[in-house]
Structure 1
């Protein structure tokens, strides 16, 4: 093989690798965990998988975990399906068509909806001879607040605590201005 052919082969290989690296990326993000009574709450569950050219069958099961007992509340097996029980008619599919995002939304959350939710994704890879599978499990601990004022107060309190922790950064006085500044005691 001539040097020119070797160079072209190397460039072609490099281009294929670059194209492969520049494909869309699936980013797994944690779910929100706090909701206000009477609002809708999206429970986020994202499970990234490299699909390539392999055909997969994806099964999704959402359960509510109560004292180590899992109560099935929603399934996806080719199409979304709500289940009979306390969540019947209150859960909407919020996932994506490619089934990387398999989130659900609880409509009109109540205080009784507080608790642990489990999202289980099982993918079957369809090869000609072999059908391996992989399972991914995500947990979301949901807290439903009764009163908007309490919920807002907690958010403000957390924000104020973070600001106090970083107060030293904001109270620094540039050395060139020390003579012009009056001395004022700072209370914490």
Structure 2
């Protein structure tokens, strides 16, 4: 009745804020539900997970004492008893925050006559780096953007040149234009003479 999507691995910059994303979407939004979330952490090389955060709409958040105290906070759904966003926020990433995380969901779905309970867990690995590294996708997208700008500029220049040639070809030669002006002035003089004769 529910599905969680979360990144399987990601990097955070040392000393910078970072959001650990976890989304728990319900397949049938019309079904009433109540949910709560727990986050667990296992440092690199440690075999056991420890609970670092618990959040419920009634009680709010609880953060375990230790390296996450005053750093980790709930950053997911608020103002509803059915949590869809289970994300948490690290105000400043430290070296001791690198490791494996588990985002847990417990949801009670209320149907006519009975309640259905489900639990889902999803894990992710967080690596802490000194500087942000650009991934291949951002580099490729930036190159494609510059290529597109050059192509559009060349296309615009070609269109302007084409339009200029079309306008120049359609314009009358200068001699015929002067003859037209002379004929127009003569016709005006004749009209004046006719009116004077009347």
What's the TM-score, normalizing by structure 2? Answer: 0.57
1:44 to 21, 44, 49: 21
How many angstroms does 1:101 deviate by?
Answer: 0.9
Deviations 1:4-57 (A, max 9, x none): xxxxxxxxxxxxxxxxxxxxxx99453771111000110000011135343222
RMSD: 2.9
Match of 2:106 in 1: 122
Q: Distance in 2 between matches of 1:121 and 1:160?
A: 33
Tell me the TM-score normalised to structure 1 length. Answer: 0.60
For 2:120, the equivalent position in structure 1 comes to 136
Distance 1:77 1:159, change over 3 A: closer
In structure 1, distance between residues paired with 2:138 and 2:109? 49
Give the number of equivalent residue pairs: 132
Unaligned runs of 5+ in 2: 142-198
Does the 8 A contact of 1:32 with 1:44 survive in 2? no
> Aligned to 1:58, what secondary structure does the other structure show?
strand
Compute the displacement of 1:107 (Å): 1.4
Query: How far apart are the structure 2 equivalents of 1:52 and 1:159?
Result: 34
The structure 2 residue matched to 1:69, chosen from 25, 45, 48, is 48
**Given the superposition, is the C-alpha separation of residues 159 and 100 from structure 1 closer, same or farther in structure 2, using an over 3 Å criterion?**
closer
1:83 aligns with 2:64: yes
Higher normalized strand content (fraction of residues): 2
Q: The residue matched to 2:42 in structure 1 has which SS?
A: strand
Provide, for residues 105-125 of structure 1, a one-character-per-residue CA deviation record: whole Å limited to 9, x for no partner.
111111111111100111012
Q: Is the 8 A contact 1:45 1:103 kept in 2?
A: yes
Unaligned runs of 5+ in 1: 1-25, 164-188
Contact 2:4–2:122 at 8 Å: present in 1 too? Answer: no
Higher helix share: 2
- Equivalent residue number for residue 17 of structure 1: none
Is the partner of 2:49 in helix, strand or coil? strand
- Is the Cα contact below 8 Å between 2:41 and 2:49 reproduced in 1? yes
